[in-house]
Amino acid sequence: MSFATGTSAAVLAELLASAERAVVLTGAGISVPSGIPDFRTPGKGLWEKVDPMKVAHIDAFRRSPDEFWTFYGQRFAMLSEIGPNPAHDAVAELERRGLVRGVITQNIDRLHRAAGSQTVIEVHGSIEWCVCEMCGGKVGFDDVRAILTSGTPTPECATCISPLKPNVVLFGEMLPEDAMADATALAAEADLMLCIGSSLEVYPVAGLPGLTLDKGGRIALITQGPTPYDRECEVKLAGDVVEELDAVLAALP
Ligand code: ZN
């Protein structure tokens, strides 16, 4: 695939306009313009001095909730200050125009919903809620933030005095079955999957574009850096995610 940027955007716009069951799949790259570093990029922000595979691991949460929350509380603080960027807005706009059925996201940052996307499948969970593993109770993000800023090291369930766990998929945990079932159905039915800001390396989500291809659908990529689907995609836009999506929207009929 080697088109000039404008040409590729026009190709993608045409694919979106002619698709009937298109779906978007997003990864960390779409949130980078909001100021959230991709932890796979070494030496950035929160992840500079820690190994995410260790501190954001389910074993770390079980072993020492206080230590886990020392780190995760910083993450909550950072995420409380950021908002959606024009790439999230563009994805919401595609859904409003009826060009995509929804968005499957690997991100836990709530930014697709904040931008106005209605059908959002969060396959790695979301920071929207923290959950009590004893009683299943849920506490919202703002309430957890209030507990943390009051100086409590670990937010606890008011009923069980059990440590709350962010409702996100930590390392070492399975993906939520319901969300993966929804994502799998959308991918299998899709005649076009537009993958944005994901290196498509982390399974099982990385297998979703392959499922679309197996069922006769097509895939398009907007992402910097290589993916396992670079050869099989109809078109790849490898520039800045905001600029590329702007160009695609501008090229829509
Ligand atoms: Zn509880």
CA 71 to ligand 1 centroid distance, Å: 22
Boundaries of CATH 3.30.1600.10 in the chain?
Answer: 38-81+127-168
Boundaries of CATH 3.40.50.1220 in the chain?
Answer: 1-36+84-124+175-253
- Tell if the pTM clears 0.95, that is, is over it: no
| CATH code assigned to 38-81+127-168 | 3.30.1600.10
pLDDT of amino acid 165: 98
CA 37 to ligand 1 centroid distance, Å: 32
Q: What is the rounded average pLDDT of the residues 166-179?
A: 94
CA 131 to ligand 1 centroid distance, Å: 8
Tokens 């059925």 map to which residue? 101
Catalytically annotated residues? 124
CA 163 to ligand 1 centroid distance, Å: 8
From the list 32, 238, 209, 19, the residue with the least C-alpha distance to 104 is 209
From the list 25, 139, 121, the residue with the least C-alpha distance to 76 is 139
Specify which residues 237 forms β-bridges with. 222
Q: Which residue has the higher pLDDT, 233 or 253?
A: 233
pLDDT of amino acid 1: 45
pLDDT over 90 (residue 41) = no
Q: Give me the CATH topology for the region 1-36+84-124+175-253.
A: Rossmann fold (3.40.50)
pLDDT tens figures, 87-146: 999 999 999 999 999 999 999 999 999 999 999 999 999 999 999 999 999 999 999 999
Q: What is the rounded average pLDDT of the residues 5-11?
A: 83
Beginning with the edge strand found earlier in the chain, give each strand of the sheet holding 164-168 in spatial order.
138-140, 125-132, 164-168
Residues near 66 by beta carbon (within 8 Å), at least 6 away in sequence:
153, 154
pLDDT of amino acid 40: 56
Q: Report the percentage of the chain scoring pLDDT > 70.
A: 93
